[in-house]
Chains A and B, each alone.
Chain A
């Protein structure tokens, strides 16, 4: 038996690859679950139920998926242009920071005006954060993996500094948290008496919009060409540098929007635990989705379901909820292998 490269990967196989990867990841993690002494099938059953088994579970999963869709889109957009943005976590916090600053009462506007302003401010803050590394990359060839990754820590320390100082909530009983955003800046709830907010609608709308931009517009056309072969794109006369910087603004902006939406939709104020690594999980989401904007939605729902479900499961069984992190990480590894295998065919002899 030998592996031979395929000339073309059929669509069915491209859809099957993530499914296969997830099944493989579940099978591998079953070993860990079994190790804790819990019955594997029942544990996975509880996990599934905890993710989608009730109205509450479902809305929790959708709430958790909202920032993941946005950071997933941020990663997908950037990776498609071969801009390796590992800094979505930092960009998310910059967006959240902008949201509490702009939405914290300095503008006295009605909700219909304030919400867009706050969201745009969050996007701008995230976008500008990635613009720096992108400029260093196109100008001096500085590796953006390093700069964007390290900027995450810079941003977190900046947020920490502000939460202990200038932005500290005077009514916060000494906790390092910001003052809450104005009521007019809060995103409306989608379902009453749940935490599900309008951020999900924004995220879904953006994923469709990005797909349309990608396939129907000159912008998307240039992005794809520059991502697939920058040399040929430059030869044909496309503005490669501009495309790179534009992509950086968009990618950072999406991550910043995730932060702003979390603040205005869910938490109401900024703390240092706003994001349990949404920026990094976004990379997994994008990879599982094979960088497709619509696929990002499915992948984000899957990962959100794992996290929410694992929390529920760990309450009923002696399996710690860290299994969710292991499952997500294993899925990513399996996806990378599946992506590779999908490009080959097995031949006898």
Chain B
């Protein structure tokens, strides 16, 4: 790519150290107008650190940044904004109670002006929205928007501030396949207009769908920069991980007796549509049932139900054939449910406590860990050492504070806490979200081992590749309803995408023999 379009961004020799960790090691990158650069790497590879340096949240220990030929002063998000760099964070930074228009215009006007010129702001917003196919409702409060709409509002916010370089941090993590396709379409329009885009990802298929160039980071180093067209998945995966990775291969097993049965379960939300609406679901031993769906369609309620945090308002939940009347978390653990929570930081572990204290959190009443109300700390530590060893948790020891562990090791800790006791049912909510490829394959193999050992697995995931790789049957959650179970080999990614968006009429193509219930198809 000699000559070519103008270089808009040049990072030269960026290094950043956090204590003993070298988060970025001498990274140099260039970005040209009209280019989409995918920054690919596992968690902890240094992608987000690099972009935070670029946007002025961190100051690099070494190295320089040039935007449009001028050096960018370090440590100033304002300077980055003024230089035309816009960032769309993974967690949106919009105020829920303000309208889209207000959110976008806020901060762009002087506080000393008598009145804001909303008419002009609206015209500008609608113009941008039309030009780039970013459809939003300017007057809708952000709190009422879908995730996709929020993301479009975020992008518009950056464009409204004249961003010419757009940074997107894991933009598709929350989108359906169709919404992702829409986003990629927008990116093409933006680059046609001369903008440059950096998007951060750890998903391979997006890189091929959307980028011109791909830069791979591993352990803080830039290991390769390739034109996307000249490379392939296997090669990128190897670059990312540093070794070749095998996809999980579940052995065919015939399902055993049912371990979890939901019959007509409804969970009210207190207002409007119920969180779960007359759900029927059965999970058998030796079986992985995958729940696909865009987040917010009842998966959280389903997970909380099986975790024992909430109870059905109507309908029945049975475990191993006996109805659970008043389930609570401790009861579910006693009944042999291993629960892997969606949010390991805030719901799974107490970060301020030691590893051993977290490992016994579900069964500290057992006589092996306490007697007459007094903790048997020696026994608990010895047990913790065993679990750490068996589940390969990388930590200084049982007394290490849990919040110092990496995400992957935290997840191994939770796996160790729940799977070490031969569970009958495993509830895995987003078990690999945010984990790197190595940890992901570890989690997958542990889940499949448990399946082989006779457990039923209820896998709730937003990652369709994960569901299709692991699950024997798939069901899609939409507006609190679940589709009938679909055998994994009879359904395609695009069909799942349509089901996730509420187009349940495709069920007729997948399961011609079933009768759709009235009112299911949207």
Residues of A participating in the B interface, judged by any CB pair closer than 8 Å: 2, 4, 7-8, 216-219, 221, 224-225, 228-229, 231-238, 349
Question: How distant is A64 from chain B, measured CB to nearest CB, in Å?
Answer: 34
Known: A8-B404, A225-B357. A235 touches B61 (CB 8 A): no
Assess whether B333 is interfacial by the CB under 8 Å rule.
yes
Interchain CB contact (< 8 A) of B361 among A2, A238, A349: A238
Interchain CB contact (< 8 A) of B377 among A216, A219, A235, A237: A216
Contacts of A235 in B (CB 8 A): 307, 309, 329, 339, 341, 347-348
Interchain CB contact (< 8 A) of B352 among A219, A229, A236: A229
Contacts of A232 in B (CB 8 A): 346-350, 361
Assess whether B373 is interfacial by the CB under 8 Å rule.
yes
On whether the beta carbons of A225 and B365 are closer than 8 Å, the reply is no
On whether the beta carbons of A8 and B329 are closer than 8 Å, the reply is no
Contacts of B373 in A (CB 8 A): 217-219
Contacts of B401 in A (CB 8 A): 8
Query: Please, could you name 18 A-B residue pairs with CB atoms under 8 Å apart, sorted by A?
Result: A2-B59, A4-B18, A7-B404, A218-B364, A218-B365, A224-B350, A224-B352, A228-B353, A232-B346, A232-B350, A235-B307, A235-B329, A237-B308, A237-B328, A237-B329, A237-B330, A237-B331, A237-B333
On whether the beta carbons of A225 and B353 are closer than 8 Å, the reply is yes
Contacts of B348 in A (CB 8 A): 232, 235
Residue from A4, A7, A8 having most chain B Cβ neighbours under 10 A: A7
Known: A8-B404, A221-B375. A349 touches B330 (CB 8 A): no
Known: A225-B357, A225-B361, A228-B350. A217 touches B328 (CB 8 A): no
Assess whether B502 is interfacial by the CB under 8 Å rule.
no
Seed contacts A224-B353, A228-B350; 13 additional CB < 8 Å A-B pairs: A7-B19, A7-B404, A216-B374, A218-B365, A219-B373, A221-B364, A225-B350, A231-B347, A232-B349, A234-B309, A236-B329, A236-B362, A237-B333
Question: How distant is A5 from chain B, measured CB to nearest CB, in Å?
Answer: 9
On whether the beta carbons of B375 and A349 are closer than 8 Å, the reply is no
Residues of B participating in the A interface, judged by any CB pair closer than 8 Å: 18-19, 59, 61, 307-309, 328-333, 339, 341, 346-353, 357, 361-362, 364-365, 370, 373-375, 377, 401, 404
Q: Within the assembled complex, what's the spacing in Å between the Cα atoms of A229 and B59?
A: 32
Question: How distant is B142 from chain A, measured CB to nearest CB, in Å?
Answer: 25
Known: A216-B374, A216-B375, A217-B373. A228 touches B329 (CB 8 A): no
Contacts of A216 in B (CB 8 A): 374-375, 377
Q: Within the assembled complex, what's the spacing in Å between the Cα atoms of A219 and B370?
A: 11
Question: How distant is B232 from chain A, measured CB to nearest CB, in Å?
Answer: 39
Contacts of A224 in B (CB 8 A): 350, 352-353, 357
Please give me the 9 A-B residue pairs with the lowest Cβ-Cβ distance, nearest first. A237-B330, A237-B329, A236-B361, A228-B352, A229-B350, A235-B347, A228-B350, A232-B350, A218-B373
Contacts of B19 in A (CB 8 A): 7
On whether the beta carbons of A221 and B352 are closer than 8 Å, the reply is no
Contacts of B347 in A (CB 8 A): 231-232, 235
Question: How distant is B44 from chain A, measured CB to nearest CB, in Å?
Answer: 14
Q: Within the assembled complex, what's the spacing in Å between the Cα atoms of A347 and B345?
A: 28
Chain B residue at smallest Cβ distance from A228: B352
Q: Within the assembled complex, what's the spacing in Å between the Cα atoms of A224 and B330?
A: 18
On whether the beta carbons of A228 and B351 are closer than 8 Å, the reply is yes
On whether the beta carbons of B370 and A233 are closer than 8 Å, the reply is no
Contacts of B309 in A (CB 8 A): 234-235
Q: Within the assembled complex, what's the spacing in Å between the Cα atoms of A229 and B347?
A: 8
Q: Within the assembled complex, what's the spacing in Å between the Cα atoms of A238 and B358?
A: 12
Residue from A217, A221, A233 having most chain B Cβ neighbours under 10 A: A221
Contacts of B357 in A (CB 8 A): 221, 224-225
Q: Within the assembled complex, what's the spacing in Å between the Cα atoms of A219 and B374?
A: 8
On whether the beta carbons of A229 and B351 are closer than 8 Å, the reply is yes
Question: How distant is B51 from chain A, measured CB to nearest CB, in Å?
Answer: 19
Question: How distant is B192 from chain A, measured CB to nearest CB, in Å?
Answer: 41
Interchain CB contact (< 8 A) of B329 among A217, A234, A349: A234
Contacts of B332 in A (CB 8 A): 237
Question: How distant is B60 from chain A, measured CB to nearest CB, in Å?
Answer: 10
Chain A residue at smallest Cβ distance from B404: A7
Known: A236-B329, A236-B361. A231 touches B374 (CB 8 A): no
Question: How distant is A7 from chain B, measured CB to nearest CB, in Å?
Answer: 6
Q: Within the assembled complex, what's the spacing in Å between the Cα atoms of A228 and B345?
A: 12
Known: A235-B309, A236-B329, A237-B330. A218 touches B350 (CB 8 A): no
Q: Within the assembled complex, what's the spacing in Å between the Cα atoms of A233 and B351?
A: 11
Q: Within the assembled complex, what's the spacing in Å between the Cα atoms of A224 and B351?
A: 11
On whether the beta carbons of B350 and A237 are closer than 8 Å, the reply is no
Chain A residue at smallest Cβ distance from B401: A8
Question: How distant is A119 from chain B, measured CB to nearest CB, in Å?
Answer: 23
